[in-house]
Amino acid sequence: MHNILIFGAGRVGLLTSALLASSGDYQVHLADLEQPKKKLDLVDYQKNVIMTALDVTKTQQVTDYIKINAIDAVVCALPYFLTKKVADIAKSCDIHYFDLTEDVETTRYVERIAKDSNKIFAPQCGLAPGFISVVTNDLIQQFDQVETAKMRVGALPVNISNPLQYALTWSTAGLINEYVKPCLAIENHKVATLKPLEDLETIKIDGLTYEAFNTSGGIGSLKDTYQGKVRNINYKSVRYPGHCEKLRFLINDLKLKDKQELLCEIFENALPHVDDDVVLVYVSTEGYINGEFSEKHFAKKFHSLYAFGRNWTALQLTTACGLCVTIDLALKENKFKPGFVKQEYISLQQMMDNRFGHYYRYNFLQGLTDPKQNTIEQNDDISVEFL
């Protein structure tokens, strides 16, 4: 069994622990500032999760824990501003490293320290970047020449009644970070920097109207992989209409861009945390195949599920499953060489065939939810129209 230390016992860290432990192949140490008290229904695998209190800023304490418990890999499921600290610990202890960050500067830092390492450093293992990167790369690979790749992801509450037209389903600090940081894209074969909350567009998905706009980080490492090879690649977040206008008022007009802690407090006070959500994933690519101009799409929606004695949101599931697939491919199947690992090193088939990736194909968890009893329609492909 591999010993995995997960920092962060929040929504994604808890689900990641449950998934890995339930496989019987991982001994999970779930760490937070205080020993996590949340219960998981793991039946025969309860012993595979050890709850512990660790402060990631106390390097010696963490290093001692890693050595005493023979930890093979660390996972950062903490807010983005603590990610570098976990990466440094992984490097100094000579163990594998995985994270979920969308922060561009943090990912560059991880890439730098991974260059001379004989261990795997795999950042951006969640949804966007993460699963969306795998999907986009798969579509691009089907073309001889790609003109445009559009990446769109929306994590949305099923029901909404507040003025901001949104709800909290993941890290508020991470959400604010992608709303205020510069957005990278490829334009005319070159890496370009775009403003967040700009390039607003209207999309109709399965007959419902949404909006999409620039947000930071979602393009992941594709900007480096396909610079000079693809003419245009851009990433946008999907929201209910009106959300972007209110964000612009808060961030630009009220000049709260440089007061992210205050923005987080506003969002935490104004927006509810919900368990009933839907994740929309859409990728469109245009280019040439055998000399003929062609277009290919991936469009799918994902839903919340009940497992391990509780309900998990679609965003938790799409994030944690991608992380677990990457860990499994790295540690159990030895799919990656040491050093920096990009998400596009994983094929879409590898992602969906993996035991932790079945959710992406079927909207259920293998061995935990029976697809025959699932009330969700199994064909969750969606139709998308740009207006």
pLDDT the model gives residue 367: 63
26 and 45 both lie in a single domain: yes
Distance CA 384, CA 135 (A): 16
319 and 299 both lie in a single domain: no
Structural domain range at position 40: 2-127+311-362
4-24 pLDDT per residue, tens: 999 999 989 999 999 999 999
pLDDT the model gives residue 159: 86
Task: Tell me which of 273, 291, 307 is where a domain ends.
Answer: 307
Distance CA 104, CA 182 (A): 9
Which whole-number Å values give the CA distances from 325 to 49, 320, 366, in the listed order? 18, 9, 13
Distance CA 15, CA 314 (A): 12
Structure tokens, 244 = 């972007």
156 and 179 both lie in a single domain: yes
Backbone angles phi, psi at 176, to 5 degrees: -60, -40
Which whole-number Å values give the CA distances from 367 to 19, 23, 101, 305, 308, in the listed order? 11, 10, 29, 13, 11
State CA 81 to chain mean position distance: 16
Burial of 279 (0-12, 13-18, 19+ CB in 10 A): buried
In residues, how long is the chain?
Answer: 387
Asked if residue 33 belongs to a domain, the reply is: yes
Asked if residue 368 belongs to a domain, the reply is: no
Q: What is the pTM of this model?
A: 0.93
Q: How many CB atoms lie within 10 A of CB 373?
A: 7
In sequence order, the β-bridge partners of residue 293 are: 288
Sign of CA dihedral 361, 366, 368, 372: positive
Asked if residue 212 belongs to a domain, the reply is: yes
Q: How many CB atoms lie within 10 A of CB 201?
A: 15
Task: Tell me which of 270, 291, 307 is where a domain ends.
Answer: 307
221-271 pLDDT per residue, tens: 999 999 999 999 999 999 999 999 999 999 999 999 989 999 999 999 988
Backbone angles phi, psi at 345, to 5 degrees: -70, -15
- Domain count for the chain, please give it: 2
Instruction: Give the CATH number for residue 168.
Output: 3.30.360.10
Backbone angles phi, psi at 380, to 5 degrees: -110, 25
Residues whose CB falls within 8 Å of the CB of residue 323, separated by 6 or more in sequence, listed in order: 12, 16, 75, 77, 98, 100, 125, 126, 130
320 and 290 both lie in a single domain: no
64 and 79 both lie in a single domain: yes
154 and 293 both lie in a single domain: yes
User: What residue spans of 23-103 are helical by DSSP H?
Assistant: 59-68, 83-93
pLDDT the model gives residue 68: 97
Residues whose CB falls within 8 Å of the CB of residue 303, separated by 6 or more in sequence, listed in order: 278, 314, 363, 376, 380
90 and 192 both lie in a single domain: no
Asked if residue 367 belongs to a domain, the reply is: no
Q: 96-99 and 73-76: which strand pairing?
A: parallel
pLDDT the model gives residue 377: 41
Q: 96-99 and 120-122: which strand pairing?
A: parallel
pLDDT the model gives residue 48: 94
Show the low-confidence residues of the chain (pLDDT under 50): 370-378
Instruction: Give the CATH number for residue 320.
Output: 3.40.50.720
pLDDT the model gives residue 369: 52
